[in-house]
Amino acid sequence: MVSKNMEARNMLVKPKIIGVIAGVFLLALLSQVAYAHGMSEADKQAIVDGGNLLYMWIGATHMLSGYDHLAFVFGIIFFLSNFRDIVKYVSVFTVGHSITLIYATFNSIQLNYFLVDAVIALSVCYIAFANIDGFRKYLNIKPPNMMFMIFALGLIHGFGLSTRLQELPLSTDSLLLNIISFNVGIELGQITALALMLLLIAAWRKRHSFKAFSLVANYSLILAGGFLFLMQMHDFSHDGEKMNVAVAAEVMQPIENKQLPAAQESITVTVPARGEIEYKVLIMKGATIQYAWKTGAKKLFFDFHGDPKGDTSGYFKSYETGTESQSNGNLTAPFEGKHGWYWKNNSNEAVQVNLDIKGAYQLISKAKLPVHLPVEDVNSETHDSL
């Protein structure tokens, strides 16, 4: 009699426990989804200063906070019950993202991370759509080969991981070994998350409610992926335009009777290997400059931007960003302040930038300007341009 009561009690408790586990897991996938690749400043400094074991640790923790990657892996294994199939499909995804993580980082190949994350978000939608047999049910077509698609989407996920890793000023010493250590950490984090996912699915698969749970879970993945896609596209369209409205309104007020003499100069700036440089000039509101810069063959990431005079909020306005070997144009300053270029060199060799500038401006410094260090100027606060 006691045994039967205990069995009945366990039957009541078990669904509750599984429900709690499922709720926590889905909440983790859906909450903070827009911060899929976020790294704290402490992590950034640790990955710069630390050795290979620390790279591995950061990789593992980074993967465990990468909700879009975890959601994709969750979608891959959802209907797989055979251990051999699980290993096969997860291995294909691992090989795919490892290839691009290592190759792109080692060769300094950069893509816009907002766009990469947007495609990763769509990959979550894709795998969940395939899980509900959406191609046959809604499109009346045969679905693409799943093995091939997981490998291809794994390549894209690797670009997402590489793009974030390349935001750090990686050292040229033992670069490949550090990247591999980071990737090993990624895989350890993935295995940890995978074990929890398999535990959840295996426990629920035995329940009569699994079919309903599978529909809810996969439609939730589609919604989460769609939300993340919209967030990333919003951030892409507003990249560099985040500002404190009250401060911006104050610092952009017209300044009367202020002019700088016309000038024209050719300047050479050397950006060190795996380093970064800022070069700024002072321009008054409404004044115009013409500029052109080029490196020859090497491409640099650059951000042409301006800092309003007197602003203490960290606001800056980006005029142009990209990864190029040259750029030219005109700028009419929307406010008084420092305007200029941030260049980041991800190659293993120093790169010379030849800058020609003409107009009503004043050089803040004729020397190379290291990022984050003060310059000799009346109002010389510097900031992180990215």
Tens-place pLDDT, residues 230-242: 998 988 877 644 4
Q: How confident is the model at residue 368 (pLDDT cuts 50, 70, 90)?
A: very low
pLDDT tens digits, one per residue of 45-92: 555 566 678 778 878 887 888 888 899 999 999 888 888 888 999 999
Q: Are 375 and 382 in contact (CB under 8 A)?
A: yes
Query: Per-residue pLDDT for 37 more than 50?
Result: no
Strand ranges (E), the chain = 262-271, 276-283, 288-294, 300-308, 317-324, 326-332, 337-344, 351-360, 362-363, 369-370
Q: 254 — phi, psi (to 5°)?
A: -60, 140
- Over 50: is that where the pLDDT of 26 sits? no
- HSE-up of 27 (CA within 13 Å, CB side)? 6
For residues 305 and 319, give the distance between their C-alpha atoms in angstroms, rounded to a whole number: 5
Residue 262 has pLDDT above 90, yes or no: no
Instruction: Tell me what the mean pLDDT of segment 342-357 comes to.
Output: 87
User: 170: pLDDT confidence band, cut at 50, 70 and 90?
Assistant: low
For residue 94, give both structure tokens.
């691992």
Identify the burial level of 82 via C-beta atoms within 10 angstroms of its C-beta, where 0-12 means exposed, 13-18 middle and 19 or more buried.
exposed
Q: How many helical (H) and strand (E) elements, i.e. helices and strands, does the chain have?
A: 11, 10
Give the tokens for residue 105.
Answer: 């980082």
Span 119-154, pLDDT tens digits: 999 999 999 999 999 999 999 999 999 999 999 999
Instruction: Kindly report, residue by residue over 194-227, the tens digit of the pLDDT.
Output: 999 998 888 888 888 888 888 999 999 999 999 9
CB neighbour list of residue 13: distance below 8 Å, 6 or more residues apart? none
Is the Cβ–Cβ distance between 159 and 114 less than 8 Å? no
Distance from C-alpha of 130 to C-alpha of 212, rounded to nearest angstrom: 16
Separation of alpha carbons 24 and 194, rounded Å? 15
Which pLDDT value is given to residue 34?
A: 36
Pairing state between β 262-271 and 351-360: antiparallel
More confident residue, 284 or 99: 99
Q: Are 230 and 34 in contact (CB under 8 A)?
A: no
Confidence (pLDDT) at 168 = 60
Token digits of residue 208: 């009569």
pTM: 0.56
The span from the CA of 95 to the CA of 130, in Å, is 21
CA distance 216 to 105: 37
Residues 6 or more apart whose Cβ sits within 8 Å of residue 116: 156, 159, 160, 163
DSSP string, 276-327: EEEEEEEE-TT-EEEEEEE-SS--EEEEEEEEETT--S---EEEEEEEESEE
User: Is it the case that residue 379 has pLDDT exceeding 50?
Assistant: no
Model confidence at 167, pLDDT cuts 50, 70, 90, reads low
Residues 226, 300: Cα–Cα separation, whole Å:
32
Residue pointed to by tokens 């670009």: 159
Domains of the chain: 2-237 (no CATH), 252-370 (2.60.120.680)
The answer to whether residues 239 and 318 touch, using CB atoms and an 8 Å cutoff, is yes
Whole-Å CA distances, 312 to 46, 285, 315: 28, 18, 8
- Around Cβ 59, how many Cβ atoms within 10 Å? 26
The one-character DSSP state at 336 is S
Distance of alpha carbon 201 from alpha carbon 247, whole angstroms: 51
